[in-house]
Amino acid sequence: MARLSIKNKIEDFIYKNIIRRILFSSRLGRKSSMGYADSGINFDHIYKNTPSGYIWIGRFVDKILLSLPAAKATRERKDKIVEILRVEVEKNKNRGIRTKIVDLASGPSRYLVELISEDFHDWTEALCFDIDKRSLAYGKKLSGNKPIIFKRSNVTKIGNKYKNLSDRIKWKPNCILISGLLEYLDDSAVKKIFNDCFSNIDNNGLALFVTQKNNPNRKLIEKVGLTKTGKSWTLSYRVPEILAGWMTNAGYRDIRYTIDRWGMYIFLTGRK
């Protein structure tokens, strides 16, 4: 036990005093270690996959970070979200139905910006909620004149607030998306989110929940990354069977899930 404790202390010293200093030269490393690890803008940098840094070595370090398995899986997550939603929008379009999407903890929501192409511009509307002002501002800039509205809100407490807004503007979603949120919540909060989404989605609407099963770079992000609350970037990893069971209890039907090739992200879908 004493040997293990000494090993952990040495490991912590290496990560916090050597590796963190090296990573601080890169754009992704600096933002992740300064409290933006869970920021939508940070994830958008991973999506763009364009290395940048603050000193001569920074761009090289950033390129390494953007080449890690977790970063590759995150970019594939974006593409998979777009793929799933594109099938749903196309199906609704063929039935003459407009797809109304609510994205909770959206960040800049680059996947929706990519989804709403010319073919889908008149057939898709999106309402995005996030707590981070910078992510929302960037999302508005990124989306241009596409039918995407960004609103600031703590999505873990959005139930009644969203329902009141939906009732007031007579706008009810037939698609709800959550990606990059559930892994930050405890079990009871995730169950509440599932129930709230089920209550606020239209009949036969699609719910898409994306969360993490594992992380191939788990030790690095936990040792170096800091969230907006100043806590270490420690996530709650769950198996899909547990999540599917909670969705069933909330009332969803036709529940399906897939896992990416890195064993990192779970994509769960269900209908009301």
| pLDDT single digits (tens) 228-271 | 777 788 899 999 999 999 999 999 999 999 999 999 999 999 99
| pLDDT single digits (tens) 42-53 | 889 999 999 998
| pLDDT single digits (tens) 187-230 | 999 999 999 999 989 999 999 999 999 999 998 888 887 887 77
> How is the chain classified by DSSP, letter by letter?
-HHHHHHHHHHHHHIIIIIHHHHTTBHHHHHIIIIITT-HHHHHHHHHT---BSSTTHHHHHHHHHTSHHHHHHHHHHHHHHHHHHHHHHHHHHTT--EEEEEET-TT-HHHHHH--TTTGGGEEEEEEES-HHHHHHHHHHHTTSSEEEEE--GGG-HHHHHHHHHHHT---SEEEEESSGGGS-HHHHHHHHHHHHHHSPTT-EEEEEEES--TTHHHHHHH-B-TTS-B-------HHHHHHHHHHHT-EEEEEEE-TTS-EEEEEEE-
Whole-model pTM over 0.85: yes
Residue 160, pLDDT > 60, answer no
Q: Name all domains of the chain by residue range, CATH numbers in brackets.
A: 2-67 (no CATH), 72-271 (3.40.50.150)
